Chain A
Amino acid sequence: MPPRNCALCANARAMLKRPKTGQQICRGCFFYVFETEVHNTITEAKLFKPGDKVAIGASGGKDSTVLAHVMKTLNERYQYGLDLFLLSIDEGITGYRDDSLETVKRNQQQYDIPLKILSYDELYGWTMDAIVSQVGKKNNCTFCGVFRRQALDRGAATLGVDHIVTGHNADDIAETVLMNIMRGDIARLGRCTLICTQGEDTIKRSKPFKYAYEKEIVMYAYFKKLDYFSTECIYSPDAYRGHARVFLKDLEAARPSAIIDIIHSGEAFEVREEVKATQKVQQTCQRCGYMSSNELCKACTLLEGLERGMANSAITDRARKKLDAEGPAPDNLRTIPFYRAPSAAGPNASIAVEAPS
């Protein structure tokens, strides 16, 4: 194929075929449209106001590494006036997280953004390695997901930030839309395409990369020479979600717009009013103060199961009943420190939660 000029600026030579649009464009225009689309996402949703303290959930992987770079860039270019922080969670998986935490530490220096690392071990008294040695590999993702979500909030609370941004990208969101339809999770389906989720007193959480293609994030990192770690978790992901991921990739290959088309679909519908009424009201966990749809939050239930040697108690109803039949939790049970949101939420505040997807 002969060299072509960039479809956007018509000046420079096209260097890449943009995964999202299929247009052949130059590098400068790619950076520009990628960043501008994130900026559009941020301004359209009015995510920030000047003076906000914002924590970037940083794993050292591609999404959060590029997010840190783009947040820093946009904050300067458009004078958002944000105070940025990096917040990392150490799950305690030997050989998996070590390298990526090094990446995060390097980012801290490159971008001159303060970093906070919080470990499962210090928060829950359990590393993922220890959890897997008890529960095996089958359900460990449940623990990790629930624990990470709380850990991010708790880390943000210690930093005193107003807002956590995470690196969830368009592929993640499209996949979650499909997953929620397939497993009938109507509550999450209704909110998984929201850019920002927040209750009255919780820390805001948002996804500035909501419309950014995974492939473009990788491409951005590549052209900007950002280093990151792409380590697959050594504890296997579940097969069912794997199906959905493969399916989504097939759809993208058939028509690249499929990913944003799915997100557009997810934004176009909502849960019918009469169905909404039957959904559970959010409350706060009686033991740790974190938001919950039951008396005990997921993390406390999981932790109790671990501590009492019945780790599957929060995974299935039957196991939970068995745990309850064993009697109430002993007084000396290790628990999670009581959660206080930065703006000092009342213990009974009603809160909207969001899927950690």
Chain B
Amino acid sequence: MSSCGNPAVEAEALMSRRLKFDKSRSCVKCKTNVGNIVIRHAVYCKDCFTPLQTTKFKRSLEPSINPASASTSGPRRTKLKATGNLLIGFSGGLGSTVLLDLVSRCYISSNETVENVDGNSKPRGGTKHPRNQSVWMEARACYVEMCGAFPESGMRDRTDEVRKAVERYNGFEFVSLRIEDAFDSRWWASVGGRDQIRERDLGVDLSDEELLLSSLQHSSDSSPLAALQKYLSSLPTTTATQSSLTALTRLLLLYTALATSSSHLLLGTTLTGLSIGLISGVAMGGGFVVREEAGEEWEPRISGLAGEERRIKVVRPLQDMGMKECAAWVWWNGLEVVGKENVVGVKQGIGGLTKDFIVGLERDYPSTVSTIARTCAKLAPKDAAVERCVMCERPAQRGVQDWKARISIRSFNSPESEMSIPLPPHIQSAIPPPSHPHHSSFSPSLTPLLCYGCHTTLTSRSSRGTALQSKNLSKSLTDVIAPLPVWVSSRLLDSVVNPGGEMRDDLGGDAWQSKKMDVKEMRDAVKDFLLED
């Protein structure tokens, strides 16, 4: 009821602008030096800045290093020892540049030398002393090259620059991926996934909201790069393209962490970046996984190369450092930022809009960004997750399709209209269900396997849209079917080829009754394309 044009008028709504810093120009920590930087109203000198940021970094990271059983609240008594290796997601951007530097300073270079008070750098207690064992046995930095996603923008391949940036540090192995690997069965096999027989690949019709699955006809150019580009160009909005790339990158990193026996995946998300991610996540319907945005423990569905089941902790150790602090860190330490290319159109997506919004707020209301992160840390999902989404592999809640059907009526043939609701007066007789020329009536749908956010990504349209929708009207079946990321097809095929397996277990319980049906339908639809085992 915005009758007064100002709906929630509350004292709390007023956020007064304060002076950028409190009272004095001297450092709040040492109280002697003149300050060099203002961090959320507090003034610090350069000397105090470095230990302050290092402490924040360690405080964010270290509680997650040891397995849960070993860590206790209160001061840490046991030494830091991770159960697996370390993988850093390195984009070459500001945050990951600072992250790599901090990890190297705090945990990697100190393997060889521990600086003593008197300045000599002999390991205290000798190299064999337990204190000087590495926290992680092996450390890697993994870069995902994105240029394949933007064939028309002339984005250049930065792999070599990034490799050089990583090689400036000792002790990190460089892992180079490409975004199209998400559609590459060889990459999938290399991280321990089932080596698929390509003829079995499933695709989805992204031109239609029902997201019907079909088998994918391979054209002459069926390279992973072509598959990626086909997938991206089939998405309905700019927002969908961006959030899909984020999701693909995340899973490429997670499966790489699995394949390298890593217990930790560290990301260079800054406090600013985290707030942007939280707000844009909420704006894209991801409230159920708001916790995962800050940190998650991912349990892979496949067992990885080592064969053992393991969980991977995703940690963002810079989540207390704003972009400003990171920029100052880079400048004062003389680090090089490779940087990321500006992608045309990003600004029109929800991610880009949120970034502009938050960065603008951060200038005028410096504490808002940390308030966002703190507020979201106090939230938990309302219901227990019933399933993991096939696309993003994050927890999914039940009933989202019913919710959507109730709140946005998109068809008079939805289950909802079978209730005793009369049809509109101008309609005399029942409307025949729309026919799908491309599909048999048994076509299964991807919809029940998706979380709210991923379903929205694949179906929600905008009037700005892409030219694709109209283009597709005249296209044949083979043209509208988009390929799916390897982990999605793998799971779909698993359930079809091996119906007694995991998928059926996943789908147990009343809430997913409708899905069981879909699995059966799915099998019917693709059985002609399946080879005998």
Contact = CB atoms under 8 A, between A and B. Distances in A.
Contacts of B416: 40
Contacts of A179: 8, 13
A171 B6 CA distance: 12
B18 interface: no
Interface residues of A, number: 93
B286 interface: yes
Interface of B: 1-15, 237-239, 278-279, 281-288, 290, 348-350, 353-354, 357, 360-361, 365, 368, 371-372, 374-376, 378-383, 397, 400, 403, 406-412, 416, 421, 423-427, 431, 452-453, 456, 460-464
15 contacts: A8-B409, A29-B426, A32-B425, A37-B408, A60-B3, A142-B10, A167-B3, A176-B8, A183-B12, A237-B4, A254-B462, A257-B456, A257-B460, A266-B282, A268-B290
Contact of B462 (A22, A139, A250, A270): A22
A314 interface: yes
Contacts of A17: 463
Determine the main DSSP class of A at the interface with B: helix
Nearest to A207: B1
Contacts of B284: 255, 258, 261
Nearest to B469: A22
A39 B379 CA distance: 30
Contacts of A10: 431
Contacts of A189: 375, 379
Contacts of A178: 279, 282-283
A182 B368 contact: yes
A254 B425 contact: no
Contacts of B8: 145, 172, 175-176, 179, 241, 355-357
A140 B337 CA distance: 48
Contacts of A241: 6, 8, 13
Contacts of A233: 4-6
Most buried by B among A63, A139, A258, A355: A258
Contacts of B400: 264
B463 A240 contact: no
Given A168-B1, A255-B462, A181 B282 contact: yes
A241 B379 CA distance: 22
A132 interface: no
Interface of A: 8-12, 17, 20-23, 26, 28-29, 31-33, 36-37, 39-41, 44, 57, 59-61, 63-64, 91, 100, 139, 141-142, 144-146, 166-169, 171-172, 175-186, 189, 211, 214, 232-233, 237-238, 240-241, 243, 247, 250-251, 253-258, 260-262, 264-273, 275, 298, 314-315, 355-357
Given A181-B279, A255-B350, A141 B3 contact: no
Contacts of B14: 139, 141-142, 238, 240, 315
Given A182-B361, A271-B378, 12 more contacts: A12-B426, A17-B463, A37-B407, A39-B421, A41-B406, A146-B10, A175-B7, A251-B350, A261-B284, A262-B282, A262-B283, A267-B382
A141 B382 CA distance: 33
B290 A61 contact: no
A275 B427 CA distance: 52
A11 B426 contact: yes
Contact of A254 (B2, B5, B353, B456): B353
A182 to B, nearest CB: 6
Contact of B1 (A61, A139, A186, A211): A61
Nearest to A240: B15
Contacts of A257: 285, 408, 456, 460
A267 B287 contact: yes
Nearest to A168: B1
Contacts of A141: 4, 6, 9, 13-14
Given A142-B10, A167-B1, A178-B279, A256 B421 contact: no
Contacts of A232: 5
Contacts of A262: 282-283, 285
Contacts of B452: 261, 264, 268
Which 7 pairs, one residue from A and one from B, show the smallest C-beta to C-beta distance? A265-B287, A145-B9, A59-B3, A32-B424, A357-B8, A261-B285, A237-B6
Contacts of B237: 254-255
Given A168-B1, A182-B368, A356 B10 contact: yes
B5 A182 contact: no
Nearest to B400: A264
A265 B416 CA distance: 22
A139 B421 CA distance: 47
Most buried by A among B4, B278, B463: B4
Contacts of A8: 409-412, 431
Contacts of A211: 407-408
Contact of A22 (B238, B282, B461): B461
